[in-house]
Amino acid sequence: MTTLDKWTRKPIRTTQIPIFYGTATHVPWYANQLVINGYEGSRAYSAVHYTDFVGRSPAAFLWSPYTIGGNAPTGGVENKPFMYSHSSYFRETPRKYLVDEKGRNIDANGNLTGDRKVENPYLDDFNEKWIDGPNHNLNHDNPSLPVLVPPTRPRQGVR
């Protein structure tokens, strides 16, 4: 029997690669389950900020897959334990100046500004959470992007 994705009714191996951002799912177990189910070519990716209370609790006594996410951190600043980081994942590193989809200068309300450049407040937010402070970011292009979480156990019982 094939495991089906509950939304598309497609076999899991034909759906998108699972990418987790600060998830309560313990991603190493998910990666292992893919192998156990016979999907050796599948991959699981995870991004977890050091202070994300869902993906990885800032409290050391909650660093366990049996509590909230229990995932290893992939980046983010370490010296700000009370930072709200769970909604701070950026698909792209913010640009220095605000621009619209056509590359034209805009202000914070989306109004065109001509030649006047307006600094992007999201860049400051990004730097505060991911760059400014001690960190060990695993992804150097954009530290809030997911990294591969390899399975830790081989498929057993099938030859």
Give the model's pLDDT for residue 63: 61
* Residue percentage of the chain with pLDDT more than 90: 33
pLDDT bracket for residue 150 (50, 70, 90): confident
Give the model's pLDDT for residue 116: 96
What are 107's two structure tokens? 């202000």
* Residue 69: closest CA among 81, 44, 45, 52: 52
For 26-83, the pLDDT digits (tens) are 898 888 888 887 776 778 999 999 888 888 876 666 666 666 788 889 999 888 777 7
- The better pLDDT of the pair 1, 121 is held by 121
For 124-146, the pLDDT digits (tens) are 999 999 998 888 899 888 999 99
Give the model's pLDDT for residue 45: 92
- Separation CA 48–CA 40 (nearest Å): 24
Give the model's pLDDT for residue 80: 78
pLDDT at 15 over 50: no
The residues with which 105 forms a beta bridge, in sequence order, are: 99
Span 104-114, mean pLDDT? Answer: 95
pLDDT bracket for residue 159 (50, 70, 90): very low
Q: Are 108 and 121 in contact (CB under 8 A)?
A: yes
What are 109's two structure tokens? 């309300």
pLDDT at 14 over 70: no
Give the model's pLDDT for residue 107: 95
